[in-house]
Structure 1
Amino acid sequence: MNRRFFLRFIICFVCIILYAAAQVFAVEMIHFQEQTYSGSVTYNETAQPGDAVFVRLSLKFTGAVRKETLKNPAAVLQLFKGKEQAASAQFFFTNPQNRSAKTADMLAGIPLSTWLSGEETYSLKVIISTENAQKKEIMLPFSIQKKQFVSERIVLDARNTGIRKDASPERRAQIEKLNAILATITPQDVYTLKPFTIPVDSKRITSGFGDRRVFEYTDKKTSTSLHYGIDYGVSTGTPVHSCAEGKVVLAENRISTGWSVVIEHLPGLYSLYYHMDSLNVQEGQYVKQGEKLGLSGATGLATGPHLHWEIRLNMEAVNPEFFLKEFSF
């Protein structure tokens, strides 16, 4: 083995180790015991701004327990910034159609704003309620790491300037329709608990999640915004695949995002695919992970061919790369 080959081998090996490390969380599991049930919580104890925090709650009821207690366990996840509650989410059953008689397995997730500071103090609280037992509160240590986001300036031509400034009733109606979909949380809609996959056969990212953008119009005026997803630089006609199993809840041509697809995966968790050239799916259709949704393009507000991939949790945009890991434990 010559020296050059050996160095290449070492570099590749290190890259593989670093990539594998990036795909796992710092996972914490806490066990507890009550009079009528025992359980555990599993969660990612650290995250970055723009990520999410997910908590899996497992309960096992013991002894003589009334049927009402088994039917109606409920739990809430709360995020605290210092002593102030910053966000909350209701737990949902991971197997709502086939629940065990004396166990309950639940999951909840909270999106973390890209504006959160790694210098603040954070914590989580899980509140468990059952019919005949006092509420159980579990405090969980949690921290947010520092992260720097990229800033970019995008010069728009006349067509894209017009789209960006479009205030027509049609565009407003499209925005309201999408917001209504993303605000929908249906506890029974549990389609997958598996890690997501990248929707195109390319890892060439042209714009990252959370980029701070300044748009310059043809009249030299500007506006600012955040980039809510990841842009993959792929040519028009590249197959686009579903990142996970779910239900297509939107498939249409929109003014700002062109041919677009939205898929529901979990209660309040959706994936979005923008600027496509054509679609292979329709609203109401169930898709498997990796199923073809259509072809990439440059429709809507786009400066060139690409796929914009976005994830929304409880309406808020979160980093899609977070869901490439075992986020549901």
Structure 2
Amino acid sequence: MKKAALIIACLLAFFYLQAEDLSIKKDSAAFEIKYSREAFPGDAQFVRMTVIPLKNKKEAARTKASLTLLLDGRELSSSDFYRISGNNKKNNFSVTLLAAIPLSTWWDQKDGWTLKIKCSVCDSADETLELPMTLLHKDFVSETLWLDGKNTSIKTDVSPRRQQDIEKLNAILAATDKTAVWQTAPFNAPVSSNRRTSFFADRRIYKYNTGGSTTGLHHGIDYGVPEGTEVHACARGKVVLAEDRVSTGYSVVIEHLPGLYSLYYHMSRLDVKEGDITEEGQLIGLSGCTGLATGPHLHWEMRLYMQSVSPDYFLGNFTFE
């Protein structure tokens, strides 16, 4: 009951976060910016920016920009903006860009955060824009999982096959294709059930049946659904992995935006293959209990630039459309 109350409170808090809407004029361009001034640990911080050049108006597509997150003036992470609209035959005079940075679940300092944008418009000198940000407090659940012999063997597996699984997935999640803009509208949950047996960023202790233990972070949401429940793509995208893995069983990974992927684990059947283009809500397989699983469920995860971020964040208007 406490877990359910906690997750509902976090969800309500997220949906009440208001988008900041800024208009800034510099020498080279006017900037229309939308972002969330307040954020939670484990969310992603997206910034939407429309650039309107004041000089070479027909060269808006040559705009280049980066987003950097700073804490007390120290750079923590950065990413490049990518184009999502504008500067086509119908609109030659502006371009709309999007960038995102994952926010670690381990951060807890409220103030001192700044988002810095560096933008070069039509090869002009960099314009610098600074956006204040506050990190709100969020509690995460702690839990202990007692593993039977099968799951202990999987968790402690150091075989070449499992290592290959890990290396292949990491290579996929590390890839960033700036042209891979499949969906910017809010995503949907992959199953209709609201029953969750584990939550995003649970702090876990895994107890082995042989004695000993290890700790870890739960990177997604577990939906406690019966085996054979339909699993749907949370958004339009490209299937970049669909295979049986040692630790996650029958698994699917879908690319949605540059560096942004959804992951679906422990399934009993796959209905897509690598290279398929999925539509939002499309059937991609059935839930199951394959891999390291203590019971039938679907594990749903989101990764941004390899870092796990809260799947619930993407159910809202995260790109400020």
Normalised-by-shorter TM-score class:
over 0.9
**Superposed displacement of residue 106, structure 1:** 0.2
Name which of 13, 26, 30 aligns with 2:18. 26
- The amino acid across from 2:44 in the alignment is A
The unaligned stretches of length 5 or more in structure 1 are 1-15
Name which of 46, 63, 72 aligns with 1:73. 63
* Residues 286-295 or 100-109, more deviating: 100-109
Q: Does 1:85 align with 2:78?
A: no
The residue aligned with 1:273 is 264
2:272·2:285 contact (CA, 8 Å) conserved in 1?
yes
Q: 1 CA distance for matches of 2:110 and 2:61?
A: 42
**Superposed displacement of residue 203, structure 1:** 0.6
Q: 2 CA distance for matches of 1:96 and 1:273?
A: 33
Q: Evaluate the alpha carbon distance shift between residue 143 and residue 119 of structure 1 in structure 2; reply closer, same or farther with a 3 A threshold.
A: closer
Summarize the alignment of residues 74-113 of structure 1 with structure 2, pairs less than 5 Å apart: 74-95=64-85, 98=88, 100-113=91-104
Give the TM-score taking structure 1 as reference length: 0.90
The unaligned stretches of length 5 or more in structure 2 are 1-7
2:86·2:96 contact (CA, 8 Å) conserved in 1?
no
**Larger-Rg structure:** 1
Q: 1 CA distance for matches of 2:18 and 2:41?
A: 16
**Superposed displacement of residue 20, structure 1:** 7.0
**Superposed displacement of residue 116, structure 1:** 0.4
Name which of 53, 62, 76 aligns with 2:45. 53
Q: Evaluate the alpha carbon distance shift between residue 117 and residue 22 of structure 1 in structure 2; reply closer, same or farther with a 3 A threshold.
A: closer
Alignment RMSD (CA, Å)? 1.9
Summarize the alignment of residues 162-241 of structure 1 with structure 2, pairs less than 5 Å apart: 162-241=153-232
Cα deviation code 1:153-201 (max 9, x no counterpart): 0000000000000101111011100000000000001000011111001
How many percent of aligned residue pairs carry the same amino acid? 46
2:173·2:305 contact (CA, 8 Å) conserved in 1?
yes
Cα deviation code 1:243-299 (max 9, x no counterpart): 001000000000000000000000000000000000110100001100001100000
Give the TM-score taking structure 2 as reference length: 0.93
The residue aligned with 2:5 is none
Structure 1 stretches of at least 4 aligned residues deviating more than 6 Å after TM superposition: 18-21
**Superposed displacement of residue 30, structure 1:** 1.2
